[in-house]
A and B are shown apart, each in its own frame.
Chain A
Amino acid sequence: MSNTQQAWSARVPEPLASERVELKARKVSFAWEETPLHWIPDDPFATHTINVLHLLLPAGERWFVHVYKQILPYIKDEQLRADVIGFIGQEAMHSQAHDEVLPHLREQGLDPTPYTAQVDWFFEKLLGDRTLPPGKARKWWLLERIALIAAIEHYTAFLGDWVLNAEELDRRGADPTMLDLLRWHGAEEVEHRSVAFELFMHLDGSYKRRVRTWGLAFTALVFLWQRGTRFFMENDPTLDDGRASFKEFFDRGRQGVLPTAGAMARSIPRYLARAYHPSQEGSTEQAVAYLASSPAALAAEAREKGAA
């Protein structure tokens, strides 16, 4: 870890020990036949805004796994190593689970392939392993991606915490299978929210890099997300003139079916604070409690017992 920053700043990232939990992948499975196209009833905009997750996560989380597999030899801390190994399996399952939603969208007349093929390019090519000389350059590119993942994980933890608490979705009668997918995923994101950041601090921890990669990750997320929502709205076969607008986004935030713009804005300075540590926000207890009642997670547990 870089000590330079500790030397001139008394405020250093302090993990909360109570928020630590052992990480393991769960073999979940979701059947999508019963899920309607607009799984938040009568709200295509909110449905599609959340659906963008299915566009970004299969390729994105596959990329996390790809990068993390390469970083294992550099980890000198056994506890962190165990966390990273648990993290990899959870991310691999997230990627698989969201990927299985895509054929279901296609069957309902909303083919996501033109968009996901671009997201594939983004993660496989633009952010993939580049032809670099071994040594410094290659290590730099690896660290840069580790820092990007830490920044993205700040947002996945934010969204995970949001969806675990988004009671308005239940009140609107959102599809239970989709809610379980989102909350199982959200709960695991909250469970492992410290891993990416701790890994980044362990390997590098440079504050300049944290800020730079946050800027990149945030810009990319906003760009890809609004583009994804527009893509879905314009191609939804049931909408005559589907459009997405920021005004609708703010409205849904106020109603509680999407995160509010204010909460998102407030999360920015938190990540950029020198004393930030992901364990300071979100609740592991809540995440673990959800996983103890999630139909998919319970089925996964039964499956594990059944196989033994």
Chain B
Amino acid sequence: MPGFRTVLAVTGAALLVRRAVRRRMGHAPLWPMPALDTPISGRPRGRAQLLTVAGRTVVADGVVRLRLEPRAGAELPPWEPGAHLDLVLPSGAVRQYSLCGDPADRSAYTVATRLIEDGRGGSREVHEQLAEGTGIEVRGPRNRFPLVSSHAYVFVAGGIGITPILPMLRAAQAAGAEWRLVYAGRTRASMPFLDEVERIGGAGRVTVLAEDETGRPDPAALFDGIPPAAAVYCCGPEGLMDAVAAALPTGSTLHLERFTPAAATEGNAPFELELRRSRTTVTVAADETALTAVRRELPDIAYSCAQGFCGTCQQRVVAGEVEHRDELLTDEERRDSMLICVSRARGGKLTLDL
């Protein structure tokens, strides 16, 4: 048995230590654990926000414009021209729509959608179910179609493809850049934001091509007399974008925004996937994912949801252009990585750090 003195000494020492610790923590409550210099937690990639449809306007035949507002007094995250928003529709389906309002207006997001009769049903839901006052969950904004800084721009919009272009026009105008817009559509009545476009551009910058008046646009004429090394931005139907790509003058850079659904499974092209560290190349067939092809070579590769949301299969991309089809990665992460369970090569080849 320890003697009375020993007990007294130990108790006394314990009390002193306790007092010292308390005093120390009084100054710095989170003493003594170190912290990570650049915190990781608390900066989620995306955040769901509950907005309200505050305005619903028909802006052209078959096109509605929605104004989505947060609860009173709240400010929305900022965005830049070209950005899009994920809308979680009442059925649970997620669809992406370009923001077409004013980036400086932090009190609302504006999107416009055309009703597609034989589409997958997303636009029908927007048109029929998103009445004024309806609550809607959104994620984003994100930007996979950013406006690069340039001395001259050529914008080519087809129909509803005007939506991401519209804020770009204002930005180009504000920056004092040389720009012009070719806006094609079936009829003038079906083309949204015509007045606004003409108001921003004034005379001379905007060419409106309505098929019922002038016939289909001649792609070769699109680039007549444009300044050299212009940045070309195009959003519209596949046919229009292919024509623009084919007619692109040398020296100009082309930026395309596709309407492709996030998880399109049809019309995939096969591509080569080089696994740099494994010193091998696999072929990804049109009807399989990059993950499936990689697993043949590296069976222990980590993955989980296989649908592009959990992020487990994220891999570093060393070379090649990626068509991102996930709903998770930030624009920053997309610069040098991809989710191999859903995303594919845009060209014919990708190189991964695997």
Contact = CB atoms under 8 A, between A and B. Distances in A.
Interface stretch (A28-36, A157-165, A198-206, A251-259): A28-36
Contacts of B303: 85
B91 interface: yes
A231 B36 contact: no
A31 B29 contact: no
B163 to A, nearest CB: 21
Contact of A30 (B29, B43, B48, B311): B48
B74 interface: yes
A120 B310 contact: no
Nearest to A58: B41
Contacts of A30: 48
B41 to A, nearest CB: 4
B93 A103 contact: no
Contacts of B43: 99, 103
Contact of B39 (A29, A65, A113, A301): A113
A29 B139 contact: yes
B289 interface: no
A135 to B, nearest CB: 18
Given A118-B30, A301-B92, A31 B42 contact: no
Interface string B285-301: 00000000000000011
Contacts of A302: 91-93
Contacts of B304: 25, 85-86, 88-90, 92
Greatest chain A CB density within 10 A among B30, B42, B45 is at: B42
Given A102-B42, A118-B35, A31 B92 contact: no
Greatest chain A CB density within 10 A among B48, B89, B300, B310 is at: B310
A115 interface: yes
Interface in B93-119: 93-94
Contacts of A33: 49-50, 70-71, 74
Contacts of B301: 72
Interface string B59-101: 0000000000011001000000000000011011110000000
A106 B43 CA distance: 11
Contacts of B92: 298-306
B276 interface: no
Contacts of B40: 58-59, 62, 120, 124
Interface residues of A, number: 59
B92 to A, nearest CB: 2
B44 A72 contact: no
Contacts of A93: 309-310
A191 B188 CA distance: 57
Contacts of A27: 305, 307, 309, 327
A31 B327 CA distance: 17
Interface string A94-106: 0010011011001
B176 interface: no
B354 to A, nearest CB: 13
B29 A89 contact: no
A307 B93 contact: yes
Nearest to A73: B300
Nearest to B47: A100
A24 interface: yes
A88 B28 CA distance: 36
A106 B312 contact: no
Contact of A24 (B47, B122, B305): B305
Contacts of A227: 30
A298 B30 CA distance: 40
Contact of A231 (B29, B46, B263): B29
B203 interface: no
Contacts of B34: 118, 121, 125
B307 to A, nearest CB: 7
A230 B91 contact: no
Given A99-B42, A116-B41, A69 B312 contact: yes
B262 interface: yes
B310 A92 contact: yes
Contact of B302 (A88, A99, A114, A300): A88
B30 A116 contact: no
A5 to B, nearest CB: 28
A118 B35 CA distance: 4
Contacts of A100: 44, 46-48
Interface of A: 24-25, 27, 29-34, 55, 58-59, 62, 65, 68-69, 72-73, 85-86, 88-90, 92-93, 96, 99-100, 102-103, 106, 112-122, 124-125, 227, 230-231, 234, 298-308
27 contacts: A25-B305, A25-B310, A29-B88, A29-B139, A31-B49, A33-B71, A33-B74, A34-B50, A59-B41, A73-B300, A85-B304, A89-B304, A89-B305, A92-B304, A99-B42, A103-B43, A112-B42, A114-B30, A116-B42, A117-B41, A120-B35, A121-B36, A230-B29, A302-B92, A303-B92, A304-B307, A307-B94
